[in-house]
Amino acid sequence: MLLHTIVWTEHASINTLRRVNGYLEDGSPDDVYKIQAPMDDRTHPVTREAVKEIEERGGAVPMKELASILLEKAEQYEDEGGTPERMEHWVPHERFRLSITQHVEL
């Protein structure tokens, strides 16, 4: 189980870093982002509360603000599996199942 958790977490981290870096390289400072995540009984409180806070702020926020929200939630839930020390690699908690997506208004 531990090996599976490590592989899952690192794979998700690599994909998230690649996506975020792509957004930052190709985007504009005015771009805003949101978190897409399943909301089921396996959703970690870090993800659940970050999604809620972003929704309360209008549904999407600049990347720097999104990172700050995830870090704050990871710190808040550190005793319950939050990993603030890994946020440099976009890992707010083990086995995270969130995706960061650019919000585009049509």
Number of DSSP helices (H) and strands (E) in the chain, helices first: 3, 2
Task: Report how many domains make up the chain.
Answer: 1
Amino acid, single-letter form, for residue 39: M
pTM attached to this predicted model: 0.92
| Dihedral in degrees, nearest 10, Cα atoms 83, 96, 56, 85 | 20
The range of the structural domain enclosing residue 6 comes to: 2-103
Q: Is residue 96 within 8 Å of 44, Cβ to Cβ?
A: yes
Task: List, for residues 41-96, the tens digit of each pLDDT value.
Answer: 999 999 999 999 999 999 999 999 999 999 999 999 999 999 999 999 999 998 89
Per-residue pLDDT of 16-38, as tens digits, reads 999 999 999 998 989 999 999 99
